[in-house]
Amino acid sequence: MTFIARILRLLFWLLVVSWGVRLVRRLFGNLLGNAAAKSEPSSEAERGLETPGASRRLVRDPVCGMHVDEALSIPLRQEGQLVHFCSLACRNKYTASDEKMAANG
């Protein structure tokens, strides 16, 4: 009987300690997060990139296949079609390959 009591006591104290650690992490996380938020004025919400409750549209880069937020992508209008890229390197690869195809064909 004492063995079961010891196991239950161990589980109880593990639970208490884990809750305590979680509480301390949350407390210090909020304190550090508030300090970082005050020192960094250029957050996404202030720049207008994030609106609460609005869904974001992901577009696919035709070169590397990466999905990018439409607001953060690099657009290129070509032949009446709007194409989105994840980086300038992908956009340059796309335009270079497009120019090669036009020259060959």
Please indicate, yes or no, whether residues 32 and 70 belong to a single structural domain of this protein. Answer: no
Any domain includes 43: no
Q: What pLDDT score was predicted for residue 86?
A: 92
Please indicate, yes or no, whether residues 60 and 92 belong to a single structural domain of this protein. Answer: yes
Any domain includes 49: no
The predicted model scores a pTM of: 0.45
- The number of folded domains in the chain is 2
Please indicate, yes or no, whether residues 30 and 60 belong to a single structural domain of this protein. Answer: no
Tell me the residue type at 69.
D
pLDDT tens track for 53-105: 566 889 999 999 999 998 989 999 988 889 999 999 999 999 888 766 555 55
The DSSP secondary-structure symbol of 57 reads P
Q: What pLDDT score was predicted for residue 53?
A: 54
Any domain includes 45: no
pLDDT tens track for 14-64: 999 999 999 998 888 877 776 666 655 554 555 555 555 566 889 999 999
Place of tokens 């509480």: 23
Give me 90's structure tokens: 């992908």
CB 56 within 8 A of CB 65: no
Any domain includes 47: no
Q: Which domain holds residue 7?
A: 2-37
User: What CATH number does residue 99 fall under?
Assistant: 2.30.170
Any domain includes 48: no
CA 78 – CA 65 distance, rounded (Å): 18
90 to 11, 18, 57, 68, 94: CA distances (angstroms):
54, 47, 20, 12, 6
